[in-house]
Structure 1
Amino acid sequence: MSRFFSWILSIIFIWGFACNRLEKGQVVAWVNGHPIYLSDYQERIRKNWMFKEASAQELEYRLKLRCLEEMIEQELILEEARRLGIQVSDQELEAELKDMIDLEAEDTQKVFQQSGTSVIEWKERIRKELLIRKTIETVLSYQVYISDSEIRDYYERNKAHFFLPKRVRIRQILVSEEGLAQEILAQLRAGADFGELAERYSESPEAKKGGDLGWVEPEQLLLALQEEIGRLLPGQISKLVESSFGYHIIKLEERAEQVQLDFEQAKPEIKKSLEEEQKNQLFNKWLEGLFKKARIRINYQLL
């Protein structure tokens, strides 16, 4: 079975589909009158990779408590969604599923058969996951606010971290046959247009753009390409560079040295970072409030 379908199977089991609702039996915790079943809890623990690493009994017990706490958190958020009237539409669900899995594929059907669950049950669990995310966004989005003064203060204290690194703008022709690569290189040496030959011969995705890779950081490229580009001046064409992908011919268009970003250039990145930090703080405070108001009973003997 592929890693992708193993991942699907893990989602199915982590959410505890193996047991029918009518056969769940004992309850490990009650959250405002809603049960968390022992069977769901045990299945979640069984699929939690951290327990495979835990050896000490005390550590294992703490992990079990944390696992149950996460299930309680989810139930509290779902209850808040019900209170606020937040729902996930069928259209939202289908859009999410479309990016995750092909439900008509034969391998997918085999996964569901082996898990003993149905597509309908799995969809409802994904709907719950979406509902949790949507509730958090709805509750927190209007509370998040970062002022320009906060952004500027952060920029002044961390200015050294905001810069554009050294970059190069290059074009590439990539072919799998050495003989063809030699012929192309000879044409380029004779004055042929690099972009036209890239469109005609190159096997890489950027061929339709004349081989233009745009601006890239040299460190993102193969080491052999880095070394060859380091020897080029703007406008020059490399020798053949062989790699596991084939034979490369590179044209260096431009170089750009490291540049310090001014405040306006760095502002969007800083704002996003500060908003995420504030969201995390607000989420923890909000969740703490839900716990304080909740009526929670735990059967510790079942842990």
Structure 2
Amino acid sequence: MRKIVLMGLVALISINMVACNKSTVAKINDVKISKDEYKKTEDFLYATGTIESKDKSNQVNSDILSFIIDNEVVYQAAQEEGIKVKDFEVNEKFNNIKETIDENPAYKEKLKEAGINEEFLKKQVKKDLVVSKYKENFLKDIKISDKEIKSYYESHKDEFKIQEVRASQILISTLDDDNKQVSKEEKEKLKTKAEKLLNKVNNGEEFNKLAKKYSDDKNSGKDGGDLGFFSKEDKNIDFTKEVFKLDKGKNATLIETSYGYHIVKITDKRTVTKSLEDSKDDIKYRILNEKYSKQIDSLYKKGKITIT
């Protein structure tokens, strides 16, 4: 989970820790983390797609707890250094997030189920911006040499092997001309349309002809639906997390994302190794985050942290 925090895959999901009369799972200096707060964080991580499933056993997940503690430790250090953010920064970030949520009904519903309202989210936005500014201040003067980058690449070469798939799709969009989700009634009609096309594909009709005729993704549609090779990071995560579960040469599958209904078929799979040149930015990012991780470790040692 620390990787999620440090690699920038999660923004704005640090929980506001306050003392609580209920049972606690940890204490960071004078701040208690209640079991309820832990659970709310887990629900939020699940709602935002950061974790794919929730623990139904009611046990504390060490990765999630580590994530919470990391954020609280850094937040306390930022407060000691007097790091603050302006109201306009909070409002700007909050409005961007709210717009994204409003455009994705499924995402909005998950947040609602997790008890994440606008007041809660705005508090977390403010706190996360403080944490981000602390990290930015820590890293701004650190220089990474080409020698360090090359050495890292050579010693971690296996980590730069990536899985790619080649897929074809027919997209039935559920967005209107203003890029907003259509009504529920219209969406049901579009789903029926997509299911009929799926049946046609799996009953032997030519995928490329159907894609050219029906796909709302005109770029791939003109190529018969071919998306070319791509990795999990190259496209929308809601799309790729399902696509990479599929097998080459099997029947097409229907996948729903915020863009609409995707009729997808895997045509090839491969493993490639990124070159040093193509990996430089990634390596620099990794090295900086390793240094930041060590800084968090030093904050752990200075503080008093109790796991209950």
Q: TM-score normalised to the size of structure 2?
A: 0.49
Q: TM-score normalised to the size of structure 1?
A: 0.49
Instruction: Please state which structure has a larger fraction of its residues in helix.
Output: 1
Q: Is the radius of gyration larger for structure 1 or structure 2?
A: 1
